[in-house]
Amino acid sequence: MIELFHKVSQECSEVVTKRYSTSFSSAIRLLHKDLRTPIFNIYGFVRLADEIVDTFHNYDKAGLLEQFRKETYDAIHSGISLNPILNSFQKTVNEYKIDHQLIEAFFRSMEMDLTRQVYDADGYNEYIYGSAEVVGLMCLYIFCEGDNERYSRLKLYARSLGAAFQKVNFLRDIKADYNGLSRTYFPGCDFNNFGRQQKKQIEKDIQNDFKQAYKGILQLPLKARFGVYVAYKYYLSLFKKIKQTQPSRILESRIRIPAYRKAMIVVRAGVKNQLRLI
């Protein structure tokens, strides 16, 4: 009957993913069926930690995050947890032998969200690594399915993709982060005087991340390539829309990609996949 508990736990992670991110969940469904559950398990875990630092405003965030951190490692070491999200996560960590240092870097970035509101270049790079790049690396463990040589070869590309996604999120969520949470992630950026030049500098950095990441996508195993490519195209489309948007509007509203546009991305990606162009 323990398998039933594991199955229910993994279904909880899938529900969390679907409720919080339609884009990611739809991209995950395009992965090979063998890869979907462990990726849902990773995203469910990441989402819970994000919620603690971003939305639990009337509670002891630091205490809850530390409790969550302890329970995460307890679950990994014991191979079980009564928290279904942590149970599904530990199962994936142990099955794919995910490096615990990646998990620790993730928690360090979550802690930074509790104590820092402005970032210099070093802090920004550390935060990007722990909040996004390590998530890409965790997923890469799944995609490589024990092929350590391939994992080592694709690490830098996976980090670039995670960084691109996170930086686009920062641009998209400036209003919520700055006005709602008083956070300024981009170093030296004054959002009271945010102009085209600052925006272009940020966009140039993100464009380089996308360019580097694409090289790695083409080298992914076939089981993972199509789903990751669609996620890449989702974010690239969002990034292009942000580039066309005036700085003042970014500060006032959250840029989105409509559902019909997402559907077109999947169709076009499917055609390219059939023609073996990705």
Distance of CA 55 to the CA centre of its chain: 17
Domain locations in the chain as residue ranges: 2-274
Instruction: Give the torsion sign (CA, 213, 167, 143, 18).
Output: negative
Tokens linked to 218: 């083409």
CB-neighbour burial class of residue 158 (10 A; exposed 0-12, middle 13-18, buried 19+): buried
pLDDT tens per residue, range 156-207: 999 999 999 999 999 998 877 777 777 889 898 887 788 888 899 999 999 9
Are 90 and 76 in contact by the 8 Å Cβ rule? The answer is yes
pLDDT tens per residue, range 147-158: 999 999 999 999
Alpha carbon distance 82, 97 (integer Å): 21
CATH, domain 2-274, list 3.40.190.170, 1.10.600.10, 3.40.50.300, 3.40.710.10 = 1.10.600.10
The arithmetic mean of pLDDT across residues 228-244, rounded, is: 95
User: Rounded to two decimals, what is the model's pTM?
Assistant: 0.94
Question: What percentage of residues in the chain have a pLDDT greater than 90?
Answer: 74
Alpha carbon distance 53, 209 (integer Å): 26
pLDDT tens per residue, range 14-71: 999 999 988 889 999 999 999 999 999 999 999 999 999 999 999 999 999 999 999 9
Helix axes 61-78, 84-96, angle to 10 degrees: 50
Instruction: Give the torsion sign (CA, 43, 111, 235, 154).
Output: negative
